[in-house]
Structure 1
Amino acid sequence: MSYALETKKRKFTRVLESLSKPLTPGDGGAKPAKDPLMAARERLADATHAPSIKRIRAGDGIVDNLTTKTTVSRILRTTSSSASLRPNFVPWDRDRFLERLETFRPVTRWISQPARINEVEWAKRGWSCTDYMRVACVGGCGASIVVKLPDEVDDFEDLDSEKVQERKDVRQKVVEEYRKLLTDGHKDTCLWRTKSCDATIHRLPLTNPDTAINGLRERYLKISKMRDQLPSIETIELPEQVSIEEIISLLPPDFPETSKGDYTQQTNSSEKEINYRSFVFAFFGWDVVKDGSSGLLECRACFRRLGLWLYKPKEEGKEPVYDKLPVHTEHMDYCPWINGTAQSATGTAADRPEGLLSGWQILAQGIRTKHRRRVKATALPPREATPVDSDTLSLESTATDEATQRAKDKEWWSKLRRVREALHVKGPKKSISGEK
């Protein structure tokens, strides 16, 4: 009998033995049925006593799954809540500073205060306007301050000079107290007590001419879409030291164009007039409001808003509410578009304000700089090459290349010769008698 056949017979015998062998408690098959009385006693014992080790091990998988799910859900909830809560102490973040400054915009909440405690000073030190003349450290220590100054002296013209001066002194002292509260008003553990935003936080990004012109283009294109709501040229007032016609003549040729081609410049006279008005508002920092309100322009640096309908005649033929619109002075006094000290961020008390450039002046300077570079790049046309016979040119170039290569080889060999001479050391000659 072969070895393979004998092996198969042994395997078949083991299978038959396993089928005919009675099941034991240690086997993996079904357990023998228990006595009903014993089963009832075991169930009662399981209900009144702690579970056995076997029962705990059997339920480990379920317990582990429940624990894992609970932990994961808790982590997800913590992550989502922490993602929604942004850090409050970010004195270097200009966007967060502007968010705080924007809370002072509604006139129903805030009335303009002296320069030492105006809304910019509060926003630089982490305060936001939460209610009428109330500031709070939102997201930080939670401190809150109500700002209330004595009435202006101009409201009491019937008082004598001594009382007027006394009221001025009192008002100045109150201003200084609020000036201290800009920092001391925070709680002791608040980080805003130790550091505030620096003077450059309000500066407009106009240093790079390309960035400044791109921002001007974006504002111009958005304002052009509401050109029908803009006041007339006669209503718009400009500073004396600027010529919009000159600035427009210095713009890049592709200035009114966009990458998507959603705007095309027209050539008729009326369209040129509308483009002029749109450019004036964009040049002095005005932009359309973020919420898309019709007939409104705003400044994204001081959040001053312009209601354009106030400067246009009404349908009944009545005169407008205001006959003049000075686009440069409608900004807030602290706005860097018109305030050279705010834009320079380095002005001191000794500096004269007229010596510091405001935002629109830096923008005009950038347009002129870009124009000079463009003119300089196109001023010198490329030299025209003199026509030469191709065969002659190839022979001359070949001869020149060979002469140059020959000179290089000669120089290389001379250097190599000098190196060899420097490294070669002549030793003393041995005498013939010594060799013998």
Structure 2
Amino acid sequence: MSYALETKKRKFTRVLESISKPLASGDGGAKPPTDPLMAARERLAEPPSIKKVRVGEGVLDKVSTKTTVSRILRTTSSSANLRPNFVPWDRERFLERLETFRPVTRWLSQPSPINEVEWAKRGWSCTDYMRVACVGGCGASLVVKLPEEVDDFEDLDSDKVQERKEVRQKVVEEYRKLLSDGHKENCLWRSKACDGAYVPFYYSAGLGNVTFELAATIHRLQVTNPDNAINALRDRYLKISKLQDQLPARETIELPEQLSLKEMIDILPPGFPGDSPNNSLNDDTSQQSDGKENTIDERSFAFAFFGWDVVKDGSSGLLECRACFRRLGLWLYKSKEEGKEAVYEKLPVHSEHMDYCPWINGPAQSGTGRATDRPESLSSGWQVLAQGLRTKHRRRVKTSASATPTESVPTEADTLSLDSTATDEASQRAKDREWWSKLRRVREALHVKGPKKASSQSK
């Protein structure tokens, strides 16, 4: 080894030793740097000297150190409580994004492939007028603007009208691709969405892209459990019943033709609605009387049955749906005190929801997106709730019939439920007989023979 290289090596070793060893305080040199948090803890652990206590420097130093440590701990805890942005399975976060599209000053209704539900399923929220932004933090932002409707151009000929329709459809398809492609390359929402979103698939052979829809279970209402559905119905009824003075007249409220509101009220559990929202309505703890505890107000029950609830901010005279965030101004359907007529004569509580709302939309509530399913065969939210009430009523009737052997006069609701049960059983037996007869005919046509005996095979 050369002399110059060895000299440089010794100098480098001395530099390392001088850095690693702390200098003495009497030498007048600078002290080595230390961790600020460790220094603060050491100052808190050391008792202040008499001189510092007398002058007050120790107290000020201790207070400032405590403030610094508390600020550090508070920042750490606040960062730990931050919610993740990419949670496609969280229904509450999906509804939070969907609620941002509620103000009409921000969002106008769009075609179903690019409506607010589809944007919310793909991780977008509405931040400004017709502008959506990614909630995942990728910084993507889009402005949704479609050509005007064709109905506004009635003076044009049929060829131009058809051309404008085709242009509008192409723009819708482009925005439909931007549901996922609008995110940046590193964004997780680009490759994964909530269930029920349109998912694009691209063929490598250049055949274009095909989109299909998955089961939309993220928007489904929690009404499949009859007990939970009835308790939620009771909570909504109790809150709406406090606004009886602001509700429109019963003649103003319209209901679907296939629903009998009187039947639903007659088969309610005993004791409905109860005194407080926290008391559950179970068959074992409910009152044994056939009559209801209080007289049911049909207007409040009609709104609660179709999913309407009091607004969260407590605004007077307003009801809202917590699934589609549509709001109802009750004063528009109520006559004025001065004798003026209401703005609207009728209030259809079922059709005032948005078209995609699971309270009235069968595919949205049933969680299916298959093209083979017929929409009329799928049950919406209020139909599932009605079926749950009938199911609970049939169970109560059977339980009471087995517990009390004495004959009692059945009510109209009891007769309807028993008749429907008997009809279902008879139809099921008829279907079974028809199935077995078809099976026998198929076997005869194919000449199906039984297996040969073991003895014949051995011979």
Q: TM-score, normalised by structure 2?
A: 0.67
Q: Which has the larger radius of gyration?
A: 1
2:271 aligned with 1:254, yes or no?
yes
Q: In structure 1, what residue type is equivalent to 2:29?
A: H
2:229 aligned with 1:232, yes or no?
no
User: Runs of 5+ in structure 2 lacking a partner?
Assistant: 1-24, 33-39, 47-61, 196-215, 280-293, 407-459
C-alpha distance in 2 between matches for 1:151 and 1:284: 34
Match of 2:320 in 1: 298
Could you tell me which of 205, 211, 214 is aligned with 2:231?
A: 214
Q: In structure 2, what residue type is equivalent to 1:142?
A: G
Counterparts of residues 262-273 of structure 1 (less than 5 Å): 272=295
SS at 1:225 equivalent? helix
Match of 1:78 in 2: 76
2:366 aligned with 1:349, yes or no?
no
C-alpha distance after superposition, 1:287-341 (max 9, x if no partner): 0000000000000000000000000111210110000000000000000000001
Q: In structure 1, what residue type is equivalent to 2:307?
A: G
C-alpha distance in 1 between matches for 2:93 and 2:403: 49
Q: Is contact 1:222–1:287 with CA below 8 Å preserved after alignment? A: yes
Shift of 1:79: 2.0
Could you tell me which of 113, 117, 120 is aligned with 2:114?
A: 117
C-alpha distance in 1 between matches for 2:99 and 2:41: 56
2:69 aligned with 1:89, yes or no?
no
C-alpha distance in 2 between matches for 1:293 and 1:365: 33
Identity rate of aligned residues, in percent? Answer: 74
C-alpha distance in 2 between matches for 1:382 and 1:241: 34
User: Runs of 5+ in structure 1 lacking a partner?
Assistant: 1-44, 53-58, 263-270, 385-436
Q: In structure 2, what residue type is equivalent to 1:354?
A: E
Counterparts of residues 22-421 of structure 1 (less than 5 Å): 46=26, 48-50=28-30, 61-62=42-43, 73-83=71-81, 85-198=82-195, 199-259=216-276, 272=295, 275-381=297-403
Q: In structure 2, what residue type is equivalent to 1:49?
A: G
Q: Is contact 2:234–2:277 with CA below 8 Å preserved after alignment? A: no
C-alpha distance in 2 between matches for 1:153 and 1:47: 89
Shift of 1:73: 4.2
Over the aligned positions, Cα root-mean-square deviation in angstroms equals 2.7
Shift of 1:275: 0.7
C-alpha distance in 2 between matches for 1:61 and 1:362: 66
Q: TM-score, normalised by structure 1?
A: 0.70
C-alpha distance in 1 between matches for 2:95 and 2:277: 30
Count of aligned pairs: 325
C-alpha distance in 2 between matches for 1:215 and 1:49: 74
Shift of 1:347: 3.8
Distance 1:110 1:347, change over 3 A: same
SS at 1:135 equivalent? strand
Distance 1:162 1:383, change over 3 A: closer
C-alpha distance in 2 between matches for 1:226 and 1:183: 44
Displacement over 4 Å in runs of 4+? 45-48, 63-73, 259-262
Shift of 1:243: 0.1
